[in-house]
Structure 1
Amino acid sequence: MSNRRLNGERLVIATHNAGKLREIGALLAPFGIECVSAGELGLLEPEETGTTFVENALLKARAAAQAAQLPALADDSGISVTALGGRPGVYTADWAERQWFEGESGRDWFMAMGKVEGLLCEQGPGVDRSCWFSCVLAIAWPDGEEVVYEGRSNGAFTWPPRGKLGFGYDPCFVPDGLDQTFAEIAPEKKHEISHRADAFAKLVAEQFPG
């Protein structure tokens, strides 16, 4: 809980991920917040050395707020699979990182989803496919004040991937109560039910009361 409020300020979104920026920008649009990404400002991405979503979100928000001297919002999110002991969890993006022998550098999300599927298949056809997406939103101000909001979306891991509307692991995640993946449903629908939407609802309740 924080008494600090975003009052129509310019807000740095501490990400270089275009898909994540679009989602966050759409969620903040109704509140008249001017958003600019860390990528647009040429800010370097700090090394994510935290072992929890909260630690990494705060690390990114603090770095952007100090570099830009503006309030900054960072998101750290990922998928956790029950049968894999909660992996990949905080290392969700790392599972998509290509090694030098795998071709071009950068992230390959199909490869990452394939790693999850491969590990599940090793456990047999009756494996528990339940999983959940987690999201932590952290706001940091240049003077050192900060606050975090946590959200979650439960579902199941499906294979093969389906849909082209999402990003990351979205094509393999079927949220509870639906038979479509996050990458098959319209973005506005996803904005209502996602882990990020859950965290944003808590942010909005505190930052934009009434």
Structure 2
Amino acid sequence: MNAVGPRLVIATHNAGKLREIRALVAPFGIECVGAAELDLPEPEETGTSFVANAELKARAAADQTGLPALSDDSGLSVDALHGEPGIHSARWAEDETGKRDFGFAMERVEKALSDAGPEAGRDAHFTCALTLAWPDGRTESFEGKVFGHLVWPPRGANGFGYDPVFVPHGHEQTFGEMEPEAKHAMSHRAKAFEQLVHFLDQSRSS
């Protein structure tokens, strides 16, 4: 993991994502600094996939800071909603003033499912794309997913985003009810991070 050096920019302004990524990186002794702490602007997410948006954000942060940067793009995809909100998960949380409110976003998802009719299933999955970008222009991307179903009303105050309505397969608690360590052991972000660590381990030994 030290292939990225002693300092890594986490290219997100989302405090919840930054907290989770810091927890995942902590065992490797790397100092993580968030994009907001460096006053980096949020680039417009114009990609058409999670990986494309993660690459866009990581490259921008690496270019602006001259440091390796790690970016996350993630979201909730609901089968009955044809994969929505998907890459627009954060936008679904924007209220009329442009402020992000994930309580509002969860209500939007629930209303859309209700409008889809009683036959609509509640299967869903989270996707996380992680991109590591170096100042020389190199990038490596990794994607993880976790499958489950949605519940209503929301349960639990842990996690962030859509966590309180998502129950992963094989479990009864929502991500919002789980202790952080339990979520980190199975989440879409953890699965993508495992691939990242494997890549860096291989790079270090080659």
The 8 Å contact of residues 2 and 30 in structure 2, kept in 1 or not, is answered as: no
Determine which of 163, 182, 187 is the counterpart of 1:189. Answer: 182
* Backbone CA RMSD of aligned residues: 1.5
Distance 2:45 2:107 in 1: 23
State the one-letter code of the partner of 1:178: H
Which residue is equivalent to 2:38?
A: 41
State the one-letter code of the partner of 2:130: L
The 8 Å contact of residues 4 and 68 in structure 2, kept in 1 or not, is answered as: no
Structure 1 segment 53-92 matched on structure 2, within 5 A: 53-92=50-89
State the one-letter code of the partner of 1:145: R
Which residue is equivalent to 2:137?
A: 144
1:136-184 Cα shifts (integer Å, max 9, x gaps) = 0001111100100000000101110000001000001000000110010
Which residue is equivalent to 1:19?
A: 16
Distance 2:8 2:159 in 1: 24
- The Cα of 1:5 is off from its aligned counterpart by 6.9
- The Cα of 1:125 is off from its aligned counterpart by 3.0
Distance 1:204 1:170 in 2: 25
| Structure 1 residue 131 corresponds to structure 2 residue 124 | yes
Q: Given the two structures, how large is their TM-score scaled by the length of structure 1?
A: 0.93
Distance 1:124 1:149 in 2: 35
Residues paired across the two proteins, number: 203
Percent of aligned pairs with the same amino acid: 59
Distance 1:145 1:132 in 2: 29
Distance 2:33 2:3 in 1: 15
1:168-209 Cα shifts (integer Å, max 9, x gaps) = 000010000001100100000100000001101111111135
Moved more, 46-55 or 118-127: 118-127
Q: Given the two structures, how large is their TM-score scaled by the length of structure 2?
A: 0.95
Which residue is equivalent to 1:111?
A: 104
Distance 1:12 1:119 in 2: 36
The 8 Å contact of residues 8 and 34 in structure 1, kept in 2 or not, is answered as: no
Q: What secondary structure is seen at the aligned counterpart in 1 of 2:125?
A: strand
1:76-114 Cα shifts (integer Å, max 9, x gaps) = 0000000000011000000001223xxxx4101011111
Unaligned runs of 5+ in 1: none
- The Cα of 1:124 is off from its aligned counterpart by 2.7
- The Cα of 1:9 is off from its aligned counterpart by 2.7
Which residue is equivalent to 2:159?
A: 166
Deviant stretches of 4+, over 4 Å? none
The 8 Å contact of residues 5 and 208 in structure 1, kept in 2 or not, is answered as: no
State the one-letter code of the partner of 1:94: R
Distance 2:144 2:39 in 1: 29
